[in-house]
Amino acid sequence: MSRQPEGPPPPPVVQRLRVRYAKRGRLRFTSHRDFARAFERAIQRSGVPIAFSAGFSPHPKVSYAGAAPTGVASEAEYLEIGLAEQRAPDDVRSALDAALPAGLDIVEVVEAPPGTPALADRIEASRWQIVLPEVTPESAEAVLATFLAHDSVIVERPTKDGVRPVDARAAVVSAVVVPRESRGSGVVCATLELVVRHATPAVRPDDVVTAMRQAAGLSTPVIPVVTRLAQGLLDAERSLDDGALKDPLS
Amino acid sequence: MSGQSVFERLEPLLPTVRKPVQYVGGELHAVTKDWDACDVRWALMYPDAYEVGLPNQGVQILYEVLNEREGVLAERTYSVWPDLEAAMREHGIPQFTVDAHRPVGDFDLFGVSFSTELGYTNLLTALDLAGIPLSAADRGIDHPVVIAGGHAAFNPEPIAEFIDVAVLGDGEQAVLAITDIVRAWKAEGRPDGREGLLLRLATSGVGYVPAFYDVTYLPDGRIQRVAPNRPGVPWRVAKQTVMDLDEWPYPKRPLVPLAETVHERYSVEIFRGCTRGCRFCQAGMITRPVRERSIDTIGEMVQRGVAATGFEEVGLLSLSSADHSEIGEVAKGLADVFEGSNVSLSLPSTRVDAFNVTLANELSRNGRRTGLTFAPEGGSERMRRVINKMVTEDDLIRTVATAYGNGWRQVKLYFMCGLPTETDEDVTAIAGVASRVIETGRAAAGRKDIRCTVSIGGFVPKPHTPFQWAAQLDHETVDHRLQALKAAIVADKQYGRSIGLRYHDGRPSIIEGMLSRGDRRVSAVIRRVWEGGARFDGWSEYFSFDAWVAAAEEVFADSPVSLDWYTTRERELTEVLPWDHLDSGLDKEWLWQDWQDAISEAEVEDCRWSPCYDCGVCPSMGTQTQVGPTGRMLLPLSPV
Transcribe B393-443 into DSSP letters.
Answer: HHHHHHHHHHHHHTT--EEEEEEEES-TT--HHHHHHHHHHHHHHHHHHHH
Tell me the per-residue pLDDT of B527-569, one tens digit each, with 9 for 90 and over: 999 999 999 999 999 999 999 999 999 999 999 999 999 999 9
> Which residues, 6 or more positions from A200, have their beta carbon under 8 angstroms from its beta carbon?
none
Question: Angle, to 10 degrees, between the axis of helix B523-531 and the axis of helix B120-130?
Answer: 70
Q: Cα–Cα distance between B512 and B42 in angstroms, integer?
A: 29
Q: Which long-range contacts (CB under 8 A, 24 or more apart) does B272-276 make?
A: B272/B170, B272/B242, B272/B245, B272/B318, B273/B319, B274/B318, B274/B319, B274/B320, B274/B323, B275/B606, B275/B607, B275/B608, B275/B615, B275/B625, B276/B319, B276/B320, B276/B323, B276/B351, B276/B388, B276/B606
Q: What is the pLDDT of residue A58?
A: 82
Instruction: Pick the more confident residue, B578 or B633.
Output: B578
The alpha carbon of residue A242 is apart from the nearest alpha carbon of chain B, in Å, by 31
Which residues of chain A have a CB within 8 Å of the CB of B307? Answer: 45
d(CA B304, CA A86) in angstroms, rounded, equals: 27
Instruction: Please answer whether residues B346 and B313 qualify as being in contact, where contact means their C-beta atoms are separated by less than 8 angstroms.
Output: yes
Tell me the chain B residues in contact with residue A56 when contact means C-beta distances shorter than 8 Å. 367-368
Residue B168: closest CA among B622, B582, B558, B621:
B582
What integer is the mean pLDDT of A118-138? 92
User: Does position B479 have pLDDT exceeding 70, yes or no?
Assistant: yes
- pLDDT (0 to 100) of residue B10: 97
Nearest chain B residue to A73, by CA? B15
pLDDT for residue A173: 92
Nearest to B260 among A3, A34, A101 (CB): A34
Mean pLDDT computed over every residue of chain B: 95
Give the helix/strand (H/E) hosting B314. strand B313-317
A-interface mutation test, from B261, B263, B311, B342, most A Cβ less than 10 A away: B342
Query: Span B592-597, mean pLDDT?
Result: 98
Distance, in angstroms, between A246 CA and closest chain B CA? 31
Contacts of B366 in chain A (CB under 8 A): 5-7
Largest CA distance in chain A: 72
Chain A contact for B446, CB < 8 A? no
Which B positions 293-312 lie with beta carbon below 8 A of chain A? 307-312
- Is B258 within 8 Å of A223 when comparing Cβ atoms? no
Is 70 exceeded by the pLDDT of residue A184? no
Note which residues in 406-435 of chain B have CB less than 8 A from chain A.
Answer: 407
Measured between CA atoms, the residue of chain B closest to residue A133 is B12
Determine the pLDDT at residue B420. 98
CB B628 within 8 A of CB B323: no
**Which of A62-76, A99-113, B68-82, B361-375 shows the lowest mean pLDDT across its residues?**
B361-375
Q: What is the pLDDT of residues B315-358, one digit of tens each?
A: 999 999 989 999 999 999 999 999 888 888 888 766 888 788 88
Residue B224 CB: number of other CB atoms within 10 A?
A: 11
Q: When comparing pLDDT for A2 and B4, which is higher?
A: B4
B445 interaction partners in chain A (CB closer than 8 Å): none
* pLDDT above 60 (res A240): no
Model pLDDT, residue B85: 98
- Write out pLDDT tens, residues B3-41: 999 999 999 999 999 999 999 999 999 999 999 999 999
Tens digit of each residue's pLDDT (9 = 90 or more) over B162-195: 999 999 999 999 999 999 999 999 999 999 999 9
In this predicted structure, what is the pLDDT of residue B60? 98
- ipTM (interface predicted TM): 0.88
Structure confidence at residue A238 (pLDDT) = 64
d(CA B181, CA B227): 24
How far from B69 is each of B74, B97, B173, B242, B369, CA to CA, in Å? 10, 19, 12, 18, 43
Each residue's pLDDT tens digit, B114-161: 999 999 999 999 999 999 999 999 999 999 999 999 999 999 999 999
Per the CB < 8 A criterion, the answer to whether B601 and B266 are in contact is no
- As a whole number of angstroms, the distance between CA A173 and CA A192 comes to 13
Residue A1 pLDDT: 43
Where does residue A225 fall: left (phi above 0), alpha (psi -120 to 50 degrees), or beta otherwise? beta
Distance from CA of B506 to the nearest CA of A (A): 33
Q: What angle do CA B380, B384, B389 make, to 5 degrees?
A: 145
Closest-CA distance, B408 to chain A, in angstroms, reads: 10
* 3 state DSSP class of B76: strand
**Can you list the positions of beta strands (E) in B155-264?**
165-166, 213-217, 223-228, 237-238
**Residue B350: predicted pLDDT:** 67
Q: Enumerate the residues of chain A whose CB falls inside 8 A of the CB of residue B311.
A: 41
pLDDT tier, A118 (very low <50, low <70, confident <90, very high otherwise): confident
pLDDT of B224 higher than 70: yes
Question: Where does the pLDDT of residue B640 fall: very low under 50, low under 70, confident under 90, or very high at 90 and above?
Answer: very low
